[in-house]
Amino acid sequence: MNPSSPILLFDSGVGGLTVHAAVRKLLPDAPIIYAADLDGLPYGTKSEAEIAARVAGLLGRMSERYQPRLVCIACNTASTIALGMVRDVLEVPIVGTVPAIKPASAITKTGTIGLLGTQATVRQAYVDNLEAEFAADKRLLRHGASGLVRAAEAKLRGAPIDRDAIRSAVQTLRAMDGGDQIDTVVLACTHFPLLTEELGEEFGGGVTFVDGAEGIARRIAHLTQGQAFDSSAPSFAVSTGDLGEFEALSGTLSAYGIDELRAF
């Protein structure tokens, strides 16, 4: 393995920075390319066919250009829909992001779990299977809250956050049968951990939020165990669409250790 070969982290926007931070903590010397498909944002309101074709196509082109040692799809929506297709196309290890239903089921005391994802994520059979396997004896209440993606993106840009979108997501979960018993919430979109503070305020305390970032980082570390990393190799971020829009996030990206931005 070429020590300068990067890890490629892909997301529809900047929510995957939560995964980037976890990976960087475990693998401080690894070259990392963070790829944001801002031109395709948001994924949660697109059809399964659109998402699968877009993600597979982009990752195929990015893999040809950057020759990564591993690809992480740091997006629940893209993973639940396109993970199998991408694994069929690319010849490198692929790590996906799936809703953290298993750990949530292990920590809930009331047995009632809320799940906030995009509309596309919450309707997937993949989520049905996770529920059947890990939470069959629990109550899982799902809500597709795609508006939270925009809220998280706005927060990272220092723009006003749509508090109504946050309030609506929480109230919808609470209004479901058994929603008053929710004590654990799965944040099934990598954008949503960026809003933990705001969601906590709306839930009113007593709720534990669970996401998959640390588990993903551990999986990447395991798959690259024993490999050499060239810490002098470039780490940077690329984005589809208008580079100027991406550059508006330069301050936020710098806080995550990303100082070079490129157009894809």
Q: If we measure between CA atoms, which residue out of 208, 197, 13 comes closest to residue 106?
A: 208
* Entry pTM: 0.89
Alpha-carbon gap, residue 183 to 174, rounded angstroms? 11
Residue 109 lies in a domain: yes
**pLDDT at residue 110 above 90?**
yes
Q: What's the structural domain count of the chain?
A: 2
Determine how many CB atoms are found less than 10 A away from the CB of residue 28: 10
| pLDDT > 90: percent of the chain | 77
Tell me the per-residue pLDDT of 5-42, one tens digit each, with 9 for 90 and over.
999 999 998 889 999 999 999 999 999 999 999 999 88
Q: Specify whether 77 is located in the same domain as 61.
A: yes
- Classify 45 as helix, strand or coil: coil
Query: Alpha-carbon distance 249 to 182, whole Å?
Result: 34
Give the domain extent around 21.
7-97+214-263
**Among 189, 195, 213, 253, which one carries the catalytic annotation?**
189
Give catalytic status of residue 72 as yes or no.
no
pLDDT level of residue 159 (50, 70, 90 thresholds): confident
Q: Which of 172, 190, 211 is the last residue of a domain?
A: 211
Rounded CA-CA distance 188/127 in Å is 10
- Whether 13 and 153 have beta carbons less than 8 Å apart is answered as yes
Q: Which two tokens stand for residue 246?
A: 């991406």
Tell the residue number behind the tokens 């570390």, with chain if given: 221
Position 2 in a domain: no
Per annotation, catalytic residue among 19, 33, 59, 75: 75
Q: What is the pLDDT of residues 119-158, one digit of tens each?
A: 888 988 989 999 999 999 999 999 999 889 889 888 888 8
Task: Give the end of a domain, one of 175, 190, 211.
Answer: 211
On whether both 114 and 138 belong to a single domain, the answer is yes
Residue 212, number of CB atoms within 10 A of its CB: 27
**pLDDT tens digits for 181-225?**
999 999 999 889 999 999 999 998 889 999 999 999 999 999 999
Residues 139 and 11 in one domain: no
CATH number for the domain harbouring residue 55: 3.40.50.1860
Residue 75 appears among annotated catalytic residues: yes
